[in-house]
């Protein structure tokens, strides 16, 4: 396991911790080399063995969880999924949940000696449910954030396809303007921070999205849609067969429709469903609510 020495990316944390009234944890970037030589990168917060692992959605990165990690005040890991953040891009362009889950399981086996509260947002949620199903020894409890396997709408893919129709900009401000126009992020300062973590400057001086997902958005969503609608509804079967407790956190202004939540409840009648006043990115628009839900899972005791 390699630890990156430059932690300038954590320059926002002291101000965020002060605003929240929380302690400032130790934070560092860590990485492992996967069998195919790709790097999988993550952020580690706090001291001691991690208790919580956080998986972001498509087009985001591990820093989307910074505020939640501060509010939790517990050892946690936030992983950059393949093709996002500081993790390597895939040559085969395959960012389907099953493929991503294999990377996450290997990372947890390396970084997390105890079963985790596994929290997955959107694409990260679809990935997390596969990890929990195929590697139950790694997961103590599963929390899905504004996502279910059978998402019964094309609204979310349509919005993101339109958003990522533009992948480079003259300046960071132009990228911030576009994100705000689509309702992504919270305040302007929050959106500026997100753009800082999610973009890079090319040799020609233009600013582009850092993650591979932006460049292959159509094929990526087609892959996810195929997986969700595969014969036999395997993702639902995976969830229903799990021993670990499952909680669905729905953003009141998120991507889930009532029919999606009804299907979730039908397949998992014992699971908890919690609706919060938030958009799709609950970890950014209602981090205090989400942190409280995760804290509740932590205090319920080990399996």
Does residue 12 lie in a domain region? yes
Does residue 211 lie in a domain region? no
- Contact in structure between 215 and 167 (CB atoms under 8 Å): yes
Distance between CA 180 and CA 137 in Å, rounded?
A: 41
H or E stretch at 251: strand 246-253
Catalytic site positions: 122, 146, 280
Residue with tokens 């509010």: 71
3-class secondary-structure state, position 166: coil
Does residue 293 lie in a domain region? yes
Give 3-state DSSP helix, strand, coil % of the chain, rounded to 5: 45, 20, 35
From first CA to last CA, the distance across the chain in angstroms is: 28
Number of domains in the chain: 1
Token pair belonging to 290:
């989400």
Q: What CATH number is given to the structural domain containing 20?
A: 3.40.50.1820
pTM of the model: 0.87
Q: Which domain holds residue 6?
A: 2-149+232-298
Does residue 88 lie in a domain region? yes
Q: What is the pLDDT along the chain (303 residues), one digit of tens a residue?
A: 444 443 478 988 999 999 999 999 999 999 999 999 999 999 999 999 999 999 999 888 999 999 999 999 999 999 999 999 999 999 988 888 999 999 999 999 999 999 999 999 999 999 999 999 999 999 999 999 999 987 644 455 577 778 888 888 999 999 999 988 887 767 888 888 888 888 888 899 999 888 887 777 655 555 455 444 443 457 788 888 888 999 999 999 988 999 999 999 999 999 999 999 998 899 999 999 999 999 999 998 644
3-class secondary-structure state, position 77: strand
Token pair belonging to 126:
């679809």
Does residue 99 lie in a domain region? yes
Does residue 162 lie in a domain region? no
Does residue 192 lie in a domain region? no
């Amino acid at each position: 396991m390699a630890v990156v020495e430059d932690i300038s990316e954590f320059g926002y944390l002291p101000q965020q911790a002060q605003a929240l009234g929380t302690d400032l944890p130790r934070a560092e970037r860590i990485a492992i080399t996967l069998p195919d030589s790709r790097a999988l990168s993550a952020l580690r917060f706090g001291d001691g063995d991690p208790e919580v692992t956080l998986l972001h959605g498509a087009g985001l990165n591990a820093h989307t969880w910074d505020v939640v990690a501060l509010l939790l005040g517990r050892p946690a890991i936030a992983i950059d999924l393949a093709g996002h953040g500081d993790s390597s891009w895939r040559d085969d362009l395959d960012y389907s949940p099953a493929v991503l889950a294999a990377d996450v399981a290997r990372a947890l086996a390396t970084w997390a000696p105890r079963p985790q509260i596994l929290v997955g947002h959107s694409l990260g949620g679809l990935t997390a449910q596969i990890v929990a199903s195929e590697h139950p020894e790694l997961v103590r409890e599963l929390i899905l954030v504004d996502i279910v396997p059978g998402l019964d709408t094309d609204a979310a893919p349509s919005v993101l396809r339109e958003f990522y129709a533009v992948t480079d900009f003259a300046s960071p401000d132009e990228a911030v303007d576009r994100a705000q126009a689509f309702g992504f992020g919270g305040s302007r300062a929050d959106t500026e921070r997100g753009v800082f973590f999610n973009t890079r400057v090319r040799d020609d001086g233009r600013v582009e999205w850092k993650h591979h997902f932006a460049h292959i958005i159509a094929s990526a969503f087609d892959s996810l849609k195929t997986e969700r609608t595969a014969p036999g509804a395997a993702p639902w079967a995976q969830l229903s067969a799990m021993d670990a407790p499952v909680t669905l956190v729905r953003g009141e202004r998120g991507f889930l429709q009532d029919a999606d939540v009804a299907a979730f409840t039908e397949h998992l009648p014992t699971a908890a469903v919690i609706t919060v006043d938030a958009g799709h990115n609950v970890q950014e628009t209602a981090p205090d609510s989400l942190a409280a839900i995760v804290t509740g899972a932590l205090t319920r005791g080990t399996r």
